[in-house]
Amino acid sequence: MYEYLNGRLVEKTPLAAVIDIGGVGYHVRIPLSTFSALPELGQPVRLWTHFVVREDVQQIYGFLTQEERSLFQLLISISGIGPKSAATVLSGLAPADLKRAIVDGNLALLTGIPGIGRKTAERIVIELREKIVVEEHASGTFSAGAKGGGDRQVMEDSLSALLELGYRKQNAQEAVKKAMKNFEGDRYSVSDLVRASLKCIA
């Protein structure tokens, strides 16, 4: 129904954004990879979209790149993986890393994503490996993820993302603190910190 939304960013959280278009605010669910690359509030933004319609919900999912949206659509084509789980997968791994994990059959990396068990990871590899190989052969090499600044706001947004993913506040706080030490002054984005934090949660 919607190909993309092009408007002004008025609100953003690690898992959602609100885009003002002609005075109408569109609530859009987003993965962490998109959140990390969003502009400042009040700035123009374009999100490529996928509109989910079910008996109990109508929800727009948005992505900063068509690559992210394509991966999302591939994931929800798999039996047992819904839109929320697909967004979680994209939040757990950057698009390039996710493609590599699928092509390489890296089940350990895929099962490290919250909510993704071994059977689901195996289905992802079996059903998407060939499609991704063909796609990458046609379009070129894997793209690299962008980095953001490492500051207090990144830490707070990462903590918020972990809480929204269902982790207890104390566990999330401890994981974020441990993960931040691993970067040792390097620049990192919210998605980088969240992924590192997930590895620190027992």
Residue 173 vs residue 21, higher pLDDT: 21
Q: How far apart are CA 197 and CA 178, in angstroms?
A: 7
Encoded tokens for 63: 């992505």
Residue 194 vs residue 86, higher pLDDT: 86
Q: Please give the tally of structural domains in the chain.
A: 3
Same domain, 59 and 80: no
Identify the domain containing residue 164 by its residue range.
Answer: 152-200
pLDDT digits (tens, 9 = 90+) for 129-150: 888 876 654 444 333 333 444 4
pLDDT digits (tens, 9 = 90+) for 94-104: 888 899 899 88
Q: How far apart are CA 125 and CA 131, in angstroms?
A: 10
Answer yes or no: is 114 within a domain: yes
Burial of 118 (0-12, 13-18, 19+ CB in 10 A): exposed
Same domain, 47 and 86: no
pLDDT band at 202 (very low <50, low <70, confident <90, very high): low
Answer yes or no: is 190 within a domain: yes
Burial of 54 (0-12, 13-18, 19+ CB in 10 A): exposed
Answer yes or no: is 132 within a domain: yes
Same domain, 98 and 129: yes
CATH code of 169's domain? 1.10.8
pLDDT of residue 185: 64
Q: Are 47 and 63 in contact (CB under 8 A)?
A: yes
pLDDT digits (tens, 9 = 90+) for 27-41: 999 998 899 899 999
pLDDT of residue 173: 87
Same domain, 127 and 166: no
CATH code of 84's domain? 1.10.150.20
pLDDT of residue 149: 44
Place of tokens 């993820």: 145
Name the domain boundary from 48, 63, 78: 63
Answer yes or no: is 146 within a domain: no
CATH code of 37's domain? 2.40.50.140
Same domain, 77 and 59: no
pLDDT band at 43 (very low <50, low <70, confident <90, very high): very high
Answer yes or no: is 169 within a domain: yes
Answer yes or no: is 42 within a domain: yes
The letter for the amino acid at 194 is V
Q: In Å, what is the CA distance from 93 to each residue of 27, 59, 114, 178, 187?
A: 23, 22, 11, 19, 17
pLDDT of residue 136: 58
Average confidence (pLDDT) over 1-19: 93
Name the domain boundary from 22, 41, 63: 63
Answer yes or no: is 145 within a domain: no
Residue 144 vs residue 86, higher pLDDT: 86
Nearest CA-CA partner of 69 in 41, 33, 101: 33
Phi, psi of 139 (to 5 degrees): -100, -20
pLDDT of residue 143: 37
Phi, psi of 14 (to 5 degrees): -60, -20
Share of the chain above pLDDT 70, in %: 88
Answer yes or no: is 147 within a domain: no
Same domain, 120 and 162: no
Same domain, 97 and 127: yes
Overall pTM > 0.85: no
Name the domain boundary from 63, 81, 111: 63
Average confidence (pLDDT) over 70-93: 91
Same domain, 84 and 21: no
Same domain, 8 and 21: yes
Angle at 149 between CA 181 and CA 14, to 5 degrees: 90
pLDDT band at 160 (very low <50, low <70, confident <90, very high): confident
